[in-house]
Copies of this chain bind each other. A is one copy, B any other.
Amino acid sequence: MRILLLNPNTSQDMTDRMVAVARTVASAGTTLVPVTAARGMPYIASRAEAQIGGAIALEMIAEHHRGVDAVVIAAFGDPGLLGARELFDIPIVGMAEAAMLSACMLGRRFGIVTFARALGPWYEDCVAMHGLASRCAGIRMLDAPVRAVATVQDDSEDLLVELAIRSVAQDEADVIILAGAPLAGLARRVAHRIPVPLVDQVGAAVKQAEALVALRPRKATTGTFSRPPAKPAIGLPQPLTERIAHTDEAASLRAG
């Protein structure tokens, strides 16, 4: 099974870190296919950036979906997720979605802990989009500005653990999600310091992608997640244009 691990940010080191975490939980037969955004922002951290980054995610899937069995959109906040489910035929998993659904099986309410105040409202929109507000105990964010996103999980480990403990004690979270790609892998390292289960977002996403592939769901041919009718788009990258125009199978055959 091949899973596209799609980082809609332009930071290669973030992709590398997530792939490393993903490998620790992936099943024997799973191959991870990492891809990093060639355009966009180094790190999506607002609704505006998610609007743009989600469109870029669609471009990336259009380019890379052939030959993979499922896609993980590896950004907490799930930019482009619902659109991707319409446009493509294989399972698409959002990293926030996978973490939250997994957390639902470990407690009544999950707490979300992240590293920047700006992320809170966007993540809150994401929780609401998934209809999981009643399962969310709250979102806690570091107050101080982040020196470097790439090293924030090391720089602020103690503060993040403290937030998690407060989420348990004050918000009555039964399970904690350390959210945001820069925190990938932290869960395993600090699990012993937090008195409830943690869900690692990358691990959850890979396992959910594997689970969906095993269930072999068909593509909807009717309703809201069937593929939209063909349209002539202009000014978009060629693979996405062809996918929207339903000319990609022909293109693929030509290329093949």
Contacts and interface: CB of A to CB of B under 8 A. Distances in A.
Interface of A: 10, 25, 27-29, 38-43, 45-52, 54-55, 58, 80, 82-87, 91, 93, 97-98, 101-102, 104-108, 118, 120-122, 125, 128-132, 134-135, 168-169, 172-175, 188, 191-192, 195-200, 203-204, 207-208, 210-212, 214-226, 228-229, 231-236, 240, 244
A108 to B, nearest CB: 7
B232 A42 contact: yes
B198 A217 contact: yes
Taking each of A82, A84, A173, which has the highest tally of chain B beta carbons within 10 Å of its own beta carbon?
A82
B102 A233 contact: no
Contacts of A191: 218
Contact of A223 (B80, B196, B198, B229): B196
Nearest to A211: B207
A57 to B, nearest CB: 8
A183 B98 CA distance: 27
A101 B105 contact: yes
Taking each of A50, A93, A105, which has the highest tally of chain B beta carbons within 10 Å of its own beta carbon?
A105
How many chain copies?
6
Contacts of A197: 217-220
A243 to B, nearest CB: 9
A240 to B, nearest CB: 8
Contact of A105 (B86, B125, B169, B208): B208
6 contacts: A39-B236, A82-B125, A97-B105, A106-B217, A125-B129, A195-B226
A203 to B, nearest CB: 5
Contacts of A38: 235
Contacts of A45: 228
A39 B121 contact: no
A108 B212 contact: no
A40 B192 CA distance: 35
B212 A210 contact: no
A131 B135 contact: yes
B104 A130 contact: yes
A89 to B, nearest CB: 11
Nearest to A209: B105
Taking each of A38, A45, A83, which has the highest tally of chain B beta carbons within 10 Å of its own beta carbon?
A83
